[in-house]
A = this chain, B = another copy of it.
Amino acid sequence: MSLRPTVDFLLHHWLQAEQLNQRERFADHSRETFDAVLDTCERIAREKYAPFNRLVDTQEPQFDGERVILPQATHDAQKAYAESGMLSAAQDYAIGGMQLPYTVEAAANAFFAMASVSIGSGMLTTGNANLLMAHGTETQKRVFALNEFSGRWSGTMCLSEPQAGSSLSDVATRAVPDGEDFESDPLGPRFRLKGNKMWISAGEHELTENIVHLVLAKIPGPDGQLPPGVKGISLFIVPKKLVDTEGALTGERNDVALAGLNHKCGWRGTTNTLLNFGEGKYPVRGAAGAIGYLVGQPGEGLRCMFHMMNEARIGVGMAATMLGMAGYHASLDYAKNRPQGRPVGPEGKDPNRPQSRIIEHADVKRMLLAQKSYCEGALALELYCARLVDEQHTGAPEAADEARLLLEVLTPIAKSWPSEWCLEANSLAIQVHGGYGYTRDFPVEQYWRDNRLNMIHEGTHGIQAMDLLGRKVLMENGRGLQLLAQRINATIERAIQMPDLAAHANALGKALQDVGAATKAAWATGNPAEALANAVPYLQAFGHTVLAWIWLDVALAAHSAPESAARTGRLAAMRFFFHYELPKMGAWLGVVSRRDATCADLPEAAF
């Protein structure tokens, strides 16, 4: 079974990605060039990623005191990825890119996430370089970003600190000017950094010649104190090894030291590290601190970093989606081949019949259709968001602005929804396998462990929820939510004319009204503490509404396709969502609308 028909249907039949080729930036592209990219990625994922997914789980990164050792398979996979040109797929021809629409890039990367999410496909490197393309100087772009796009170097994002976790306002890494001439360095204003960064993925390894860390730090004020809050945060390039303005290594190691590898429940193919900056392990150029080059203006660091974080959040949503998809395909294959028991017929079970394959059991079908509904729905959402990114970058001004705002509202869902429901899909994939699914002889338990990370990194569920209810649905006087409602209503208006979709269209309309009413009720007192106490149930209800909309819209596209098993399956997955999932919303919105204080008011001693 291949993912490709689903991807092709969503890209072409639903999103009509080829229409992008009417735009100047994509004018050289065609269905054929898109297909060629997908073919290449599908092949590399099949040959260099999938066969080694269990290997990278069992051979965790090891630190020998000097170097982090990763399996040869990881080196080979990342080399093949870089050689495919995917790191710079979206970049201009002028710098060696393909000017590929992000929609197609995201679809192509899905194959790697499905084959082996933790070997990695360069998401951080691309995001890091993209940030520099947006906020760096010409020299920073040329020296750092281009060497990342080529795969010669890789990139990280260094936000969290051990004492602060998600609370970025408490970043304590300190950056001070490096000498009198600090402003005249051609690589950017030169600082010395000192601090510790936690949860840094790919923070240390030998996969590439160099590692470009993007580091959040604070520049002390005249009183020597770090400014409080997030407004005092600046952004720095801190290369593992120092380089000159031509991108050649100078031979000097920067003072960035591995302080520890995190040993994780899953996602073990990617090194996750605690890094010490400027603690003196690798003294450099006769002064204390790791050398870093300011990106953008002082105090603008978080704004720059958010440029990278939004892409990263869509990337995490896609990773969660494809882990779910991998489990769906594995359990579907198992269910089609495993004989066991007999389905219940009108007269019960007949032990004289031969055993059936388990896909004939109604409850196994339920578990498979749930996975299909979660994972193919989530994939559609991620590709829809990717299409918005293209619209934001290449659309007419009004459409681009609408895309920007819709992305603001949808990003928390694109990140959180698959991380919750495609994890549930992975649990169902285990359940379909029965005891075998709980063993390491089958891949599904690893997918489940790998996927558990996605509700945590790049902003936890709780943080996505606060972002959605506390910021995104309010910003620009609620215009983002209104825009989303317009899109949803447009789908409803088309679906309501189809006899077999009308009831679903009405259910979606009701859900949308309920979300709107709950948003108002949550904020009725104007007190953020009351409004946000149930932000996560709000996020869950909002997410289910968005997915119901996505499914109804996909169903409209499926409707217009010729009769086929795939069409039947898509319409059934849509019906599953409306019958089994959307009705869950009431429970979540109830506590939001009442501003239920059962949890928030409970004194600590009562737990």
Binding site for B on A (CB under 8 A): 160, 163-167, 169-170, 198-199, 228-230, 262-266, 332, 336, 339-348, 351-352, 355, 359, 361-366, 368-369, 372, 427, 430-431, 434-435, 437-441, 445, 448-449, 452-453, 455-457, 460-462, 465-466, 470, 527-529, 532-537, 565-566, 568-569, 572, 575-576, 579-581, 583-584, 586-587, 590-591, 594, 596, 598-600, 602-607
Q: Are B228 and A351 interface neighbours, CB within 8 A? A: yes
Q: Are B265 and A602 interface neighbours, CB within 8 A? A: no
In the complex with contacts A346-B528, A439-B264, A603-B565, A434-B460 CB distance below 8 A: yes
In the complex with contacts A568-B603, A606-B572, A529-B343 CB distance below 8 A: yes
Q: Are B606 and A565 interface neighbours, CB within 8 A? A: yes
* Interchain CA distance A359-B431 in the complex, whole Å: 34
Q: Are A369 and B607 interface neighbours, CB within 8 A? A: yes
Q: Are A583 and B576 interface neighbours, CB within 8 A? A: no
Nearest B residue to A571, CB-CB: B606
Nearest B residue to A372, CB-CB: B607
In the complex with contacts A462-B363, A584-B584, A369-B528 CB distance below 8 A: no
Q: Which of B345, B441, B591 contacts A580 (CB 8 A)?
A: B591
Residues of B within 8 A of A372 (CB): 607
* Interchain CA distance A600-B364 in the complex, whole Å: 9
Known: A165-B435, A438-B452. 13 other contacts (CB 8 A): A167-B340, A169-B351, A262-B441, A264-B439, A265-B439, A265-B440, A361-B462, A364-B462, A434-B460, A565-B603, A565-B605, A572-B602, A579-B598
* Interchain CA distance A199-B532 in the complex, whole Å: 47
Residues of B within 8 A of A163 (CB): 339
Residues of B within 8 A of A341 (CB): 165-167, 169-170
Q: Are A587 and B580 interface neighbours, CB within 8 A? A: yes
Copies of this chain, whole number: 2
Min CB–CB distance A594 → chain B (angstroms) = 8
Q: Which of B351, B361, B434 contacts A230 (CB 8 A)?
A: B351
Q: Which of B347, B348, B431, B607 contacts A332 (CB 8 A)?
A: B607
* Interchain CA distance A448-B332 in the complex, whole Å: 25
Q: Are B352 and A529 interface neighbours, CB within 8 A? A: no
In the complex with contacts A228-B352, A352-B228, A465-B363, A455-B440 CB distance below 8 A: no
Q: Are A456 and B440 interface neighbours, CB within 8 A? A: no
Q: Are B465 and A529 interface neighbours, CB within 8 A? A: no
* Interchain CA distance A576-B332 in the complex, whole Å: 37
Q: Are B587 and A165 interface neighbours, CB within 8 A? A: no
* Interchain CA distance A462-B565 in the complex, whole Å: 27
Min CB–CB distance A231 → chain B (angstroms) = 9
Residues of B within 8 A of A441 (CB): 262-263
Nearest B residue to A229, CB-CB: B351
Residues of B within 8 A of A164 (CB): 340, 355
* Interchain CA distance A229-B583 in the complex, whole Å: 40
Q: Are B437 and A456 interface neighbours, CB within 8 A? A: yes
Min CB–CB distance A13 → chain B (angstroms) = 17
Q: Are A532 and B565 interface neighbours, CB within 8 A? A: no
Q: Are A569 and B228 interface neighbours, CB within 8 A? A: no
* Interchain CA distance A569-B262 in the complex, whole Å: 35
Min CB–CB distance A321 → chain B (angstroms) = 17
Q: Are A461 and B431 interface neighbours, CB within 8 A? A: yes
Residues of B within 8 A of A365 (CB): 599-600, 602, 607
